[in-house]
Amino acid sequence: MKKGFTLAEVLITLGIIGVVAAMTIPTLIQNTNSVKFASQFKKSISTLSQAALMAQAQYDVDYAGAKTASTAANCGTDTISSGVEAQQTICGILNNTLAGQTFYGAYGTTAVKAANGSTAYAFTKKVLPDKAWLVYSLADGSYVGFDPSAVKCGLGAGNILNATALQQASGSGKNAVAAGGLANCLGFIDVNGPTPPNEEVTCNTAGDTKLDPSSNCDVAKTGAQIGDVYPIVFHDGTVEPASNAAKMVLTRGK
């Protein structure tokens, strides 16, 4: 007697496999994205911090030493000259120290293209304020945006990076370094550029997400909370997460 499976049995088996796949594959993709986004965020944070350290070593200027505001018109061509205050901008730091970067323009303009290439890039903001961010693309394709008015981005000795620091403007005076005020030094990293979801990372519980890295929250590894946009703040020779959700992702590393 010849043994084998009937067509009905094969079809039922394939149907079961299809149902299981439909239920598990989206979760697997989200888990993969969570790890990928977190890894890319950590890499971009490191790249921007290294840029400040290199500028400090070569030109005696880091994010705290940038004393001139950036403009969309000049950002792409700004350079740093040691001791020349008018050329000490955040744009100049990035242009002089990063390889493979491209300055696109101001956030929300068609110069910064969305994934479809015809409309302006934008992301869903949860805690970041509305600003005319200046947007770069790094060599790995991630987008970095920062406030064009970012100057004197220094946290100051003894100050803690918290909500108060991120709500206060930086120090005033021609040669003053900020006394803990970093409201004009905020920015973001979109780890996969214009590719969706273009959603800011959030905490699990609505309302818990804060522009305060000193507070705690839990961020899911799947679902909408995983987000690809991370609030950051530039200060001194480093870049750090500016929200509790972004800090949680960076701390756990995946």
* Average pLDDT value for residue range 49-65: 93
**pLDDT at position 138, please?**
96
**pLDDT reported for residue 223:** 65
Is 24's pLDDT higher than 70?
A: no
Torsion angle of C-alpha atoms 104, 89, 164, 243, degrees rounded to 10: 30
Q: How far apart are CA 151 and CA 91, in angstroms?
A: 11
Confidence of residue 22 (pLDDT cuts 50, 70, 90): low
pLDDT of residue 88: 87
Share of the chain above pLDDT 70, in %: 81
Higher pLDDT, 145 or 5: 145
CA dihedral sign, ordered 197, 203, 207, 209: negative
Question: How far from the centroid of its chain's Cα atoms is residue 93's Cα?
Answer: 17
Let me know: does 134 contact 91? Beta carbons within 8 Å: yes
CB 204 within 8 A of CB 219: yes
Whether the pLDDT of residue 174 is over 50: the answer is no
pLDDT digits (tens, 9 = 90+) for 64-84: 999 899 999 999 999 987 667
Q: What is the model's pLDDT at position 63?
A: 94
DSSP label at 133? -
Triad 217, 143, 250: Cα angle to 5°: 25
Q: How many CA atoms lie within 13 A of 124 on its CB side?
A: 11
Per-residue pLDDT averaged across 157-175, rounded?
Answer: 74
Q: Is the pLDDT of residue 30 over 70?
A: no
pTM exceeding 0.85? no
Burial of 50 from C-beta contacts in 10 A (0-12 / 13-18 / 19+)? middle
- In this prediction, residues 201-225 reach a mean pLDDT of 84
What DSSP element (H or E) covers 235? strand 229-235
Check whether 253 has a pLDDT greater than 60. Answer: no
Amino acid type, 114: A
Ordered by start, the domain boundaries in the chain are 10-252
pLDDT for the residue 146:
97
pLDDT at residue 175, as a whole number: 41
Rounded percentage of the chain residues whose pLDDT exceeds 90? 59
Q: Which two tokens stand for residue 211?
A: 């522009």
Query: Could you tell me which of 13, 94, 48 has the C-alpha nearest to residue 242?
Result: 48
- Dihedral angle sign, alpha carbons of residues 135, 138, 144, 149: negative
As a whole number, the mean pLDDT across the chain is 85
Contact 196, 184 (CB under 8 A): no
